[in-house]
Copies of this chain bind each other. A is one copy, B any other.
Amino acid sequence: MASAPKANAIVSQSGGPTGVINASLVGVIEEAKKHPEIKNLYGAIHAVSGIVKENFIDLMKISNDVLETVAASPSSALGSSRDKPDAEYCKKVLDVFKKRDIRYFFYIGGNDSANTCFIINKMAQETGHDLRAFHVPKTIDNDLLVTDHCPGFGTAAKFVACALIGDDLDNRSLGGIKIDCIMGRHAGFLTGAAALGKQRDDDAPHLIYIPERGVSLDKFLSDVESVYKTLGRCVVAISEGICDSEGVTWAEKLAKEAETDSHGNIQLSGTGALADFLADRIRDTLKIKRVRADTFGYLQRSFAGLQSSVDASEARRCGIEAVKLSMTNANGSVAMKRTGNSKNYGVELFRTELANVAEKTKSMPAEFINKEGNGITKAFVEYALPLTGGLPKTEYLGR
């Protein structure tokens, strides 16, 4: 490997924001300042679209005070983009890199971003441009391969767990059924996090449904009825990507029903629709009066002031590691390996190939899901709880 070139660097953020993606950004900035090989560090606004437009800001000039506030701010401080660049788009990115003598590229994002890194890096190698392309992982879905878990998940998990801790007490105080619809189209990690704050055997959530296990409406209703008969109440956490037993998502089924009804002005794919639909079915079928539904929506990924300290620290370390790796490697994605046990939690960072992370995603492993497919296991709690940085304890007296 040739020694690190003296050249400019660029960093950007892509895809859906998280609560700690800015901690990774600040990690990249603070480490870049330590390496004289990096002349300027540009921040590209709105991801690849900002690169091709050369919409840059000079990140070396930002004061440490501002940087610490950035690190604690949710969402993407450089803006984001949903663009998935094709070969032509990537060529434009590379043209800008060549023109501006950019030889370090740090891209904070999910599996699509790892893929973009991979394509651009390959193109650079083919055209003799010494580019060091690094992917820094982020996603609230926790669905990237290789890494033990993803920066962004711990903070979103903390939000969901705190919501359910409160929702348990709310439901205890007034009774009835509560449905909480949680982000996750394909992976159930975040919905599973609903159970991380459980202290008492009868704490919510009482039922958890995730995309990895299909469930029919009949099974769902009979599960709810059974909990209600036992506890006199029931709180359900359900993924937005929940499927029926044939693997078709309920959202798709609802949208089709709405079309069949040729009722043009009602979009059942709207954010609140799935939870509202389930609440209606429970009211109609089980004849239970107090049924409420919440869809957590964007609060899960962008709520201010609620970072998991563990997640924020790891996200920052991932940003730092990407810059360190770029001094001796042409490319890679930063991944985490868990060390110690549940009482002595820690991670080591390591480099993995971009191709190992690009495009593919992972699901909840079978050992994290209970046999019935309507809850999570102790193994999942041991895996996920340390990532939240700790959760509030509560007391309920009325038992």
Contact = CB atoms under 8 A, between A and B. Distances in A.
Interface of A: 13, 16-17, 43, 45-46, 50, 57, 59, 62, 66, 69-70, 72-82, 162-163, 165-167, 169-170, 172-174, 178, 197, 261, 263, 265-267, 270-273, 275-276, 279-280, 284, 292-299, 301-306, 391-398
Task: Give the dominant DSSP class at A's interface.
Answer: loop
Contacts of A275: 270-272
B162 A43 contact: no
B170 A66 contact: no
B302 A167 contact: yes
A72 B296 CA distance: 23
Contact of A80 (B17, B77, B173): B173
A212 to B, nearest CB: 25
Nearest to A78: B398
Given A69-B394, A272-B273, 5 more contacts: A13-B173, A57-B397, A69-B395, A73-B392, A296-B299
A292 B76 CA distance: 18
A128 B297 CA distance: 55
A170 B298 contact: yes
Contacts of A75: 166, 169-170, 172-173, 396
5 contacts: A78-B398, A79-B173, A82-B174, A166-B303, A170-B301
Nearest to A397: B77
A276 B270 contact: yes
Nearest to A15: B174
A299 B398 contact: no
Contacts of A165: 304-305
A276 B272 CA distance: 7
Contacts of A62: 397
Contact of A170 (B50, B69, B74, B263): B74
Contacts of A16: 174
- Residue from A62, A271, A275 whose CB has the most chain B CB atoms within 10 Å: A271
A275 B82 CA distance: 24
Contact of A299 (B81, B299, B393, B394): B299
A242 to B, nearest CB: 16
A276 B299 CA distance: 16
A316 B379 CA distance: 40
A263 B13 CA distance: 44
A257 B202 CA distance: 41
Nearest to A50: B398
A295 B302 CA distance: 15
B266 A270 contact: no
A394 B80 CA distance: 17
A74 B163 CA distance: 10
Contact of A395 (B46, B77, B276, B296): B77
10 nearest interchain CB pairs?
A272-B272, A270-B276, A75-B169, A166-B302, A294-B297, A79-B398, A305-B392, A165-B304, A73-B394, A170-B302
Given A263-B261, A398-B78, A393 B69 contact: yes
Contacts of A69: 393-395
Nearest to A62: B397
Contacts of A301: 170
Contacts of A305: 162, 165, 391-392
